[in-house]
């Protein structure tokens, strides 16, 4: 029974380390595109 608990703990540590590694080194940069939209101002003097 302790072997199973130890295995689960070790796998959890590896899963957490993999998640942290992916967060730091993964390609999660956003794709940048320029967006321009004309604005019509209805100004009354």
The upper half-sphere exposure of residue 18, i.e. CA atoms within 13 Å in the direction of its Cβ, equals: 6
Distance CA 2, CA 11 (A): 14
pLDDT digit string, tens, across residues 20-38:
998 888 776 778 999 999 9
Given this model, what pLDDT does residue 45 score?
67
Q: Confirm whether 41 is domain-assigned.
A: no
Range of the domain at 2: 1-25
* Residue 8 in this model has a pLDDT that exceeds 80: yes
**Domain total for the chain?**
1
- What's the confidence (pLDDT) of residue 27? 72
Q: What percent of the chain has pLDDT over 90?
A: 60
Does residue 43 lie within any of the structural domains? Answer: no
In a domain, 13, yes or no: yes
Against a cut of 0.75, is the pTM above it? no
- Tell which wins on pLDDT, 23 or 45: 23
Query: Quick one: pLDDT at residue 14?
Result: 98
């Amino acid at each position: 029974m302790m072997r199973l608990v130890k295995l689960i703990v070790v796998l959890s540590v590896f899963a957490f380390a993999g998640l942290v590694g992916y967060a730091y080194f993964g390609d999660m940069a956003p794709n940048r595109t320029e967006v321009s939209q004309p604005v019509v101002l209805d100004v009354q003097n």
